[in-house]
Amino acid sequence: LAKTTQPISMDSYEGQEVNITCSHNNIATNDYITWYQQFPSQGPRFIIQGYKTKVTNEVASLFIPADRKSSTLSLPRVSLSDTAVYYCLVESGWMDSSYKLIFGSGTRLLVRP
Amino acid sequence: GAVVSQHPSRVICKSGTSVKIECRSLDFQATTMFWYRQFPKKSLMLMATSNEGSKATYEQGVEKDKFLINHASLTLSTLTVTSAHPEDSSFYICSARGVPTSGVTDTQYFGPGTRLTVL
């Protein structure tokens, strides 16, 4: 399983764009990159998933360079309600029984007024 | 789509009793379900993986006789904490991996969690 490294914490202000970068140097060919958001005392919520280049949905964008050794979650115009912990995960073993997710420490994002 | 529920959301019990937590995938079939525990301000720790109709696979260091997992159907998994002690107090979260359909990506969908407090 590819280990992920991301900043422990980040601060931002309302209305700003926030970019959280995650490194996953040992990512394998068939692995996907997934980002989750977690609020206190709640289960993680799926944000976005990608394999390469750029993926965009209604809440975020995910940028993955050609070598796939890192990825960047981009949150446009954050609000106070985006204060949460963000986890970057590499999903391995899609097609076999070894599939599982291992959570790293996550990035604690604080959005200030 | 892709909603996972847990019941109960919060439970308080006396030391020595057993507690059962249910995890259900409400609008999709879950080929695999996972159980995590999370301590305050810490990350999620995977406890076990279960596939419907087969025995759960436990992570290293997790006592399978203490944390009994049953995955009886494609929509239900249960975690039973047997003879609970105060050190078992934690936030337990389940997740389900579904068959990809419209609105269901091939990833894990998480339940809201269960706060267990053992007195």
Question: How far, in Å, CA of A103 to CA of B59, rounded?
Answer: 13
What mean pLDDT do residues A11-29 have? 95
pLDDT at B65: 94
Q: Which of A103, A112, A113, A34 lies closest to A73 in space, CA to CA?
A: A34
Q: Is A1 on the interface with B (CB under 8 A)?
A: no
User: What letter would DSSP give residue B104?
Assistant: B
Look at strands A18-23 and A70-75 and give their pairing.
antiparallel
Look at strands B114-118 and B10-13 and give their pairing.
parallel
Question: How far, in Å, CA of B42 to CA of B66, rounded?
Answer: 22
pLDDT at A92: 76
Question: pLDDT tens for residues A39-86?
Answer: 999 999 999 999 999 999 999 999 999 999 999 999 999 999 999 999
Contact between B66 and B82 (Cβ < 8 Å) = yes
Contact yes or no for B93 and A97 at CB 8 A: no
Q: What's the gap in Å between the CA of A46 and the closest CA on chain B?
A: 7
Question: What average pLDDT is seen over chain A?
Answer: 91
What mean pLDDT do residues B30-54 have? 90
Q: What's the gap in Å between the CA of B82 and the closest CA on chain A?
A: 23
Contact yes or no for B46 and A100 at CB 8 A: yes
pLDDT at B67: 97
Question: pLDDT tens for residues B93-110?
Answer: 999 987 655 555 667 889
What mean pLDDT do residues A30-45 have? 93
Q: What's the gap in Å between the CA of B113 and the closest CA on chain A?
A: 5
Q: What are the C-alpha distances in Å from A51 to residues A10, A27, A90, A96?
A: 25, 11, 10, 18
Residue B58, pLDDT > 80, answer yes
Question: How far, in Å, CA of B50 to CA of B62, rounded?
Answer: 14
Q: How many C-beta atoms surround the C-beta of residue B69 within 10 A?
A: 24
Contact yes or no for B107 and A34 at CB 8 A: yes
